[in-house]
Amino acid sequence: MAAEEEEGDVEWVVDTIAGFLRGPAWSIPILEFMEQKCEVFDDEEESKLSYTEIYQEYQALVEKLLEDCLKEVGINEEKFQKAFSSPLAKTHTSQAILQTVLAAEDFRLFKKMMVQKNIEMQLQALRIIKERNGVLPDCLTEGSDVFSEIEQEEMKVLREVLRKSKEEYEMEQERKRTEEARDKLKSPDITYSLPGDSREAVKVKESTAGADDSEKTPKFPL
């Protein structure tokens, strides 16, 4: 009976820890740490001094996150160690879930995990660059010619710009023609008749003035 209770207790601890490792409280800090630190890791056999420093930082992070989790769910360190070393925690599924925890106890596993993350991020960055530049292998584009599509889109934009430029040019030319026509209407060639009109006005005025003078001239006998 006691053995069954102990086995059930171990199973509960493993399930609780597994659930915590799948949640954001664990996965987000671990993932952010790996993404920020993995770029210095490569698959060469020789380990660099920086690896050790990063590994110690990772161990401290794992220890703190686990302590916070165990306090929250009420699991002491003894129960955790017992569940962690039980056959239930040695299954393939459990090992995959516990990998980030096991990496804090095994430097080779930690290095392998960081190298893999570095490769994943490089491939992701390469894919983004290729997608932006329109150069992708067929396996990623399912055989579609991305570059030609981008070229066609750019040509479409270029044609639209040229069309608008042409319309603006034609509008500018039309405006100039209109202004030139207005200037011609105001030019001396058109207004040459004005002096004649003024002379006629002068003549009329002079005749009128003569009439006035004749009226104002005193009528003395000759």
Q: What is the pLDDT along the chain (222 residues), one digit of tens a residue?
A: 455 556 667 888 888 988 999 999 999 999 999 999 999 998 787 778 889 999 999 999 999 999 999 998 888 888 888 888 888 888 888 888 889 999 999 999 999 999 999 999 888 888 887 777 766 555 545 444 444 554 455 555 555 555 555 566 567 777 878 888 887 777 655 444 444 444 444 444 444 444 444 444 444 443
The whole-model pTM stands at 0.55
Q: What are phi and psi of 176, to 5 degrees?
A: -65, -40
Per-domain residue ranges of the chain: 1-137, 142-182
CATH code for the structural domain at 1-137 = 1.20.1520.10
Report the 10 Å Cβ neighbour count for 189: 7
